[in-house]
Amino acid sequence: MTTRLDHVGVNVRDLAAQTAWYKAAFGLKTVFEFRLDGLGLSGVVLEHPHGWRIELLARPGSSPGLRAPDPPTAVLTEGYGHFAVTTPELDPVYGALVAHGAGEVMKPGPSPEPGVRMAWVNDPEGNLIELIERSTALSA
């Protein structure tokens, strides 16, 4: 069976603000926007030049879910806790995201995986994002 991850979905409170932030912070482009009137659900699919996608979803009446301040706290709750992206240059990407308003969660440092460095930030609504630099980083 051949499969490939298509996208990660993130439920957000402020769709317009989060869309603007992800586009500016990661250089994403809008693929399409949609609305499901029966549910009052709005969404946007954004894509990175290297092909990875994120879908931002908003629905009136939603309430905050897991907003763990760091990875160890996130794993105290079952379910999805974060998404991760790879980069060949961890330090400048971490700095650029923080400059775009990402919260500093964990500064760049060694990962438990040999030959890998990692850092953590959160988006303006508190969703955790892991940044990964492999010694033989793939441009993804």
> For the chain, which domains are there?
7-58 (3.10.180.10), 71-134 (3.10.180.10)
Q: Where are the alpha helices (DSSP H) in 37-105?
A: 71-74, 90-99
Cα(11)–Cα(21) distance, rounded to whole angstroms?
14
Q: How confident is the model at residue 139 (pLDDT cuts 50, 70, 90)?
A: very low
| pTM for the full predicted model | 0.86
> Can you tell me the distance from the alpha carbon of 7 to that of 51, in angstroms, rounded to the nearest whole number?
9
- Tens of pLDDT, residues 46-83: 999 999 999 999 999 888 877 788 888 888 887 778 89
∠ Cα 98 102 103 (to 5°): 95
Strand positions, DSSP E, the chain: 7-11, 29-36, 41-47, 53-58, 82-86, 103-110, 116-122, 128-134
